[in-house]
Structure 1
Amino acid sequence: MKQKVCVIGAGFSGLVSAGVLAKEGFEVSLYEKNLFLGGRASSMNIEGFHFDKGPSWYWMPEVYDQAFHRMGVKRSDYYSLTRLDPGFRVYFDKLDYVDIPDDYNELRDLFENMESGGAVALDRFMKEAREKYTLGVNGMARMPSVSWMEFLSPALWKSAMKMDLFSSVADHVQKRFKNERIRKIMEFPVLFLGASASRIPALYTMMNYAGMCLGTYYPSGGFAGVVKGFEDVVKDLGVEIYAGTAVTGFETNRDSVTRIVLEGKQGVETDFVVGSADYAHIDTLLASKKRNYKSDYWKKKVFAPSALLYYVGINKKMEDIEHHNLFFHAPFDKHIDTIYSHPSWPDDPLFYVCCPSKTDEGVAPVGHENLFFLIPIATGLEDSEEIREHYFSMIISRFEEVTGENIKEHIVVKKSYGLDDFKQEYNAYGGNAYGLANTLRQTAVLKPSIRHRKLHNLFYAGQLTVPGPGVPPALISGEIVADYIIKNYQLKNGAL
C-alpha cells in the first residue's frame, strides 16, 4: 500500500516536495489555502498588464533544472529562458548609473575603469566565490541539518575553511575593493538574505558568482510561467491539488500526526505531513504542548526584509531603465539600519524597479510599460494606506528625478502590497516576505528544524528553515524534506 503524504502550502518548496515524493511512489495530496498556486510567486492581471507579484530575479538556473530533473522531466519542456544583458543597472545619482554586463570580460573592464587593479581583484574574488558556490549549493545547502553529526566529516570541515563562515561579506569585499561604488555593487546580492553585509557570512559572496558570472535570466511567462511549469509536472505525477482549501489543525496521538483538519471538513488521514506554508503559522495549528517552538522563539529570530511593493502600469515607453534597476542614490547604511538594527520606516529609502516589458512585450499593452517597485523594509511595522501613499509619492518623485523621465501623469494602473497583505495571504509571521536571515547564528542546525521534535511524521520546508530565503533555496528545501522522508521510509519499511 502506498504511503500517504499531505503537503500544506503550494509555494515552490511545497510543489517540489510533492513532486519528488510522488515520483518516488508516495500518494501525495497538496493543500493550498489560496485559490492560486506558487505562494509568493503569484501573479495578477489588471487592464492588460500582467504582474508577477513576488520573485523577479531568476538566478542559479541549474537549481531549477535540478528540481525538474528530480521529478523526471526537463525544465526546458515547460518554459524557456532569456539571458539578460545587462544583467541589471545600478543608479547612484541623476542619470548616473552603472550597467552590469553579462559578458565577464566586459565586467572586468568595467571594474578596472572604476578602480585601478579592479579587474585582477574581481578575478580573485570570483575564483573564491565560485569555490563557495560549488561547495555551498551542491553540498552544505542540501544537507537536512537535523544534527551536528552531519558536519563531522573531515572533508566537510576542510571545505568549510574555504567558505569564510567566520568573516563577513562586508569585510571580504572591503579587503579586495576600495571604490565605494564597487563595494555597493558587490554587497547588493546579500541585501535580501536577511542582514547587513557586516553580519552575513562571507560564504554568501557565492551570490556574486551566481548573479554576475552564471547570469541573470527571464523565464518565458515570467515567474507565473515557472509556477505553471511546476504545477503541470506535479499534476502529471498524480498529485491531488486542493486549492482554496485551508488546513486548520491536526489530530495527533502521542508521537505522530494522524489526520490533518480542513476548514469546515472532516480530517484527512495521513502517514506524513510536509508543512511548506509559514513555519510559525503551522506550529500554531498544533496544541501548545505539541508545538515545535514556543511563540517567544520567533520573537528572538532575525528576519530577512519584508517589502512594500507597487505594481504600476504606465501609458508610455521608457528609455532610461533596464529590466532590473537598483536605486542606490540614498545612504546605503542608513536604510539597512532601519531594517535590521532599529526596525522603522526609512526616511530616505533605497528601492528596486523591475520593468519586465523591456524583455517581454506580452506583460503590457502596446506602447505601455509594466513597472514593479520594491522598498525593502523591516518586518512587524505598522501598515496603512496613508503610509503606502506617502512612500509611493516619495519613490516616484525620486524615480523621475534619477531617470530624468516623467511618469506620474502617465500612470493608468497602480496597486500596492505590504505587510498586512503578506500576513493575510500567506499567514506570514510579522508580514515577512523572505523568511529568516542567513546570519551565522541562523545557519544549518541553528535554523528551525525540518523535523518536528515530538511528532515523527511532521516535517517543514520553505524559507523559514534550511537552506534559507529565496526561490532557489526554497526549491532545494523541498528536495531536502522529500529526500529525508524517502530515506527514513526506506530504512523502516524497505524500498518503495
Structure 2
Amino acid sequence: MKRVAIIGAGLGGLATAITLANAGFEVDVFEKNTHVGGKLMPVQLRTYGFDFGPNTITMPHVFRQVIEQTGRKSDDYFTLIPLKHHTTNHFQDGSSLVFSRDKDFMIEQLEKIDPLGAKNYFSFLKELTRLYELSETHFFPKTFRSWTDYLSPNLGYALTKVRPLEPMDHFFKRYFSNPNVLQAFGRYATYIGSSPYRAPATFSMIAYLELVQGVYTVKGGTVCIARAFHKVAKELGVRFHTNTTIDQVEITDKRITALYCAGEQVWSGDEVVMNADLLKAYPELVAERDRPSFTDKQRDAMEPSISAFVILAGLSTRLKNVNHHTVYFSHDYEAEFDALFTRQEMPEDPTIYLCNSSVTDRDRSPDGDNLFILVNAPPLPKGEKEPYDIHEYKEHIYDLLEKKGLPIRDHLVVERIIPPSEIAETFGAYRGALYGLSSHRKQDAFLRPRNRSRDIHNLHFVGGSTHPGGGSPMVTMSGMNVANVLIRANR
C-alpha cells in the first residue's frame, strides 16, 4: 500500500485525501491550524457565526463529486441552498443592479439602465458558455507535471479560442455600455485576485458560474463543506494531524523520504502532496540548492494576487436592504486597482463587499446581522506587515458604510479585524495573497506553477497557487486531479 503525506488540510488537500484513500492509499494529513478547510475557516463571536471565506459557492457538482466518488450521498453530509437573486450591486449614483440566474429578471433590469446590455444579454451568456465549456474540457481536468503536458494540440487550439490576449474589461464592453454595469461585471476579476483591466477575458467565464449555473450557500455555513470532507476522509481511514507544522523535509536522491515537526520525524513514505501555499511553503521547506527550477529569485519576480482587509461585525439589529451578498462600488474602479497593484496601497475609496449569511440562514446569527465585510488590499510588503493603521482603516470603512445608509457602529455588538498580515500568518499565504499569483501576466494566467515539482520527483502541488488556479472549486479540482494521476501511476 502506497503511503502519501499531505501537507495542508485545505479543500485541495482534503479532496486529495478522500480520492486517494478511496483508492486504497494510506494517507496522513498534516495541518498547522486546529481547524481543517484552510481559508474555509469558521469564526464564532458570541452568538454570531461567520465563515472567513469563501462566502460564495459555485460549481456545486465539484464538491458533490468529491464525496459521491466514494459511493456516498453528498446530501447526507451538507445541504446546499440556491440563491436566486444573490448579489445586490450598489453604485455611486444611487442606482443598483441585482445579479441573478433568472435571465428575464436580468434583462428587465438592464432595459432600465443599459438597453444595449439588455439587447446583448443572451449573446453574452452564449459566449460565456462557450468559454466555460472550453475550459471545462481542456483546462480543468488537466494536471501539468512536465513541459510535455503543454504540447497537446487540443490544448493549444483551446488556448487560442478563449480570448487570452483580450482584457476582461474590453470583453465586457463588447456587450454593455453603462459604466456601472461594466464595473459590476469587472469585479469578477477579483475572484482570481486580479484587475479587470489586466486579467485575460478568459476568466470572464466566472460570470457564467454565477449567472447560469447559479450561486449557492450552505446550511450552517460554507465551512460545512470542509467538515463534510473531513468526516468522509476519516471514515475512509485518513489520519489527521492538526496543530502540526511541517518545518523540515529530508531529501534523498531527489525524493522526499521523511517529514519533521519540531525536530521529530512524523512521517516516512512514498509521495508528498503540498496543499500549502507553493510560493511560501516550497521555498521554506526545500533548500534552494534542491529546487534549481524554482529559485528564490524566480519566486520574488512573480506578482502575488490581492489580499483582503476583513471586518467581522455582529449587530444587534437586521439592517434593511442588505442582501446575502451586497457590494458598494467605488467611484473610480480603475483608480482603485491602480492603488492596489501599481502603488500597492489601500484605496481611499474602496469597493466594499458584505456577506450577510443570516439573511438566508437565521441560525447562523439569531440576534442580528452577521456582516462579513471585505475590502480588497494589496499584497503585503516583503516584510509582511501592514504599512497603515488597521484600526484607523476599519473606522474609515465604517464611515463609508454609514454614508451609504448602514450605521454599523450604532448597532455593533462584537467585531474582529482580520488584516492581510493575519491571513499571511494563519494560512501561510505568501505576502497575504488570497489566490497565490495574480492572473495579469499570460504565463501566470495560463502557465501557473506545475502540479509536480521539476526537481523533487515525489512532490506534488495542489491549491490556489498551482493549476487550475484560485477559488474553492478550482482548488478542489486540483486535489482530485493530482490524486487521480497518482492512482493511475500506481495501478
Given the superposition, is the C-alpha separation of residues 391 and 361 from structure 1 closer, same or farther in structure 2, using an over 3 Å criterion?
same
TM-score, normalisation: structure 1:
0.94
Query: How far is the alpha carbon of 1:80 from its aligned partner?
Result: 1.2
For residues 149-164 of structure 1, the aligned pairs below 5 Å read 149-164=148-163
Map of 2:478 onto structure 1 = 477
Deviations 1:140-172 (A, max 9, x none): 122112344334444444433331112121111
**8 Å Cα contact 1:310-1:415 kept in structure 2:** yes
Please name the residue that 2:248 is paired with: 249
2:286 aligns with: 286
In the aligned structure 2, how far is the partner of 1:121 from the partner of 1:93?
Answer: 24
Q: Does structure 2 retain, via aligned residues, the 8 Å contact 1:33–1:246? A: yes
1:228 partner letter: R
Structure 1 partner of 2:166: 167
Following TM superposition, by how much is the alpha carbon of 1:33 offset from its aligned partner in structure 2, in angstroms? 0.9
Q: How far 1:302 moved relative to its partner?
A: 1.7
C-alpha distance 371-385 of structure 1, shift in aligned 2 (>3 A): farther
Give a deviation string over 1:409-458, Cα, whole Å, max 9, x none: 210101001122122212211112222122322134x3112111222111
- SS of residue matched to 1:247: coil
Q: Counterpart in 2 of 1:430?
A: 431
The aligned residue for residue 303 of structure 1 is: 304
**Equivalent residues of 2:283, 2:296 under 8 A apart:** no
Match of 1:97 in 2: 96
**Taking structure 1 as reference, are residues 186 and 94 closer, same or farther at Cα in structure 2, changes over 3 Å only?**
closer
Q: Please tell me the root mean square deviation across aligned C-alpha atoms, in Å.
A: 1.8
Counterpart Cα distance in 2 of 1:240 and 1:51: 27
Separation in 2, partners of 1:329, 1:69: 42
Deviation of 1:244 after TM superposition, in Å, equals 0.8
Q: Equivalent residue for 1:356?
A: 357
Partners in 2 of 1:44 and 1:407 — Cα distance?
A: 19
Matched, 1:141 2:140: yes
Aligned residue for 1:456, secondary structure, equals coil
Deviations 1:221-269 (A, max 9, x none): 1112111111111111110011111111111112211111122422421
Q: Secondary structure at the match of 1:88?
A: strand
- Structure 2 vs 1, CA of residues 126 and 233 (structure 1 numbering), >3 Å: closer, same or farther? same
- 8 A contact 1:260–1:270 mirrored in 2: no
SS of residue matched to 1:476: helix
> 2: CA distance between counterparts of 1:390 and 1:377?
15
Equivalent residues in 2 for 1:45-444 (5 A)? Answer: 45-93=44-92, 96-279=95-278, 280-291=280-291, 293-366=294-367, 368-381=368-381, 383=385, 387-402=389-404, 404-439=405-440, 440-444=442-446
CA distance in 2 between counterparts of 1:215 and 1:160 reads 26
Distance 1:179 1:294, change over 3 A: same
The residue matched to 1:199 in structure 2 has which SS?
Answer: coil
Whole-angstrom distance in 1 between the partners of 2:112 and 2:396: 33
Measure the CA separation in 2 of the matches of 1:132 and 1:94.
32
Taking a change above 3 Å as real, the CA distance of residues 266 and 159 of structure 1, as seen in their structure-2 partners, is: closer
Match of residue 39 from structure 2: 40
Q: How far is the alpha carbon of 1:341 from its aligned partner? A: 2.1
| Runs (5+) with no aligned partner, structure 1 | 490-494
Q: Residues 62-101 of structure 1, C-alpha deviation per residue, up to 9 Å, x if partnerless?
A: 2222332334433222111111131101111375322223
Query: Quick check: 1:192–1:305 contact (8 Å CA) kept in 2?
Result: no
1:370 partner amino acid: N
Give the drift of 1:194.
2.9
**Aligned AA for 1:35?**
T
Say if 1:250 and 1:257, in contact at 8 Å, map to a contact too.
yes
1:439-493 CA-partner distances (Å, limit 9, x unpaired): 322134x31121112221111111111111111111011112112222223xxxx
Change (3 A) 1:407 1:99: same
Give yes or no for contact 1:15–1:478 (8 Å, CA) kept in 2: yes
Instruction: Give the secondary structure class of the aligned counterpart of 1:326.
Output: strand
Could you tell me how far apart the structure 2 residues matched to 1:163 and 1:252 are?
40
Identify if the C-alpha distance between structure 1 residues 398 and 409 changes in structure 2 by more than 3 Å, giving closer, same or farther. Answer: same
Mark the CA change 1:320 to 1:431 in structure 2 (over 3 Å): closer, same or farther: same
CA distance in 1 between counterparts of 2:425 and 2:275 reads 16
Q: Secondary structure at the match of 2:5?
A: strand
Please name the residue that 1:492 is paired with. Answer: none
SS at match of 1:473: helix
Aligned to 2:489: 488
- Letter of the structure 2 residue corresponding to residue 67 of structure 1: V
Moved more, 63-72 or 418-427: 63-72
Name which of structure 1's ranges 299-308 and 62-71 shifts more when overlaid on structure 2: 62-71
Match of 2:5, as an amino acid? C
> Would you say the 8 A contact 2:4–2:26 is kept in 1?
yes
**Structure 1 residue 399, shift from structure 2 partner:** 1.2
CA contact under 8 A between 1:129 and 1:206: conserved in structure 2?
yes
2:481 partner SS? helix
- Which whole-Å CA distance do the structure 1 matches of 2:301 and 2:406 have between them? 44
Contact 2:288 2:296 in 1 (8 A): no
Return the offset for 1:205.
1.2
* Cα distance per residue 1:327-355 (max 9 Å; x no partner): 11431111111222221121211111111
Name the CA shift for 1:177/1:191 in 2 (closer, same or farther; >3 Å).
same
Q: How many residues align?
A: 486
Runs of 4+ in 1 over 6 A off after TM superposition: none
Q: Deviations over 1:84-128 (max 9, x none)?
A: 131101111375322223311111222222222322311111101
Distance 1:160 1:94, change over 3 A: closer
**TM-score under structure 2 normalisation?**
0.95
